[in-house]
Amino acid sequence: MPADGLGQIYGLGLPSDLNLDDPQAILHAAAEVAAAQGVIRKAYKDLVAAASPKTPEQVAATAAATGKVPQYLINQIANYQAALQRLGG
């Protein structure tokens, strides 16, 4: 994450001096383009993950990783679960 906290910055890292003059340069250019495609794939996956809603398991895993849940919240969740049980039959 950047220091300003506004989100990830992705750079393709393509050199400005790529050329296709000889077979060796072509192989080098192809490798550079393949690496840039990997960055594009990573950026796409990160965007999809950020736009996807979190499952309850993911939320619980995040909470477990970041600290103890307050007791009032545990009680509230238990009340909601009990209400859903009564409504669902």
Record the pTM.
0.54
Give me the pLDDT at residue 65, please: 67
Give me the pLDDT at residue 64, please: 66
In order of 37, 65, 77, 89, the CA distances from 10 in angstroms are 12, 27, 39, 50
Residue 27 CA, chain-centre distance (Å), reads: 31
**Residue 63 — pLDDT band, cuts 50, 70, 90?**
low
**Residue 74 — pLDDT band, cuts 50, 70, 90?**
confident
Residue range 27-50: mean pLDDT, rounded? 93
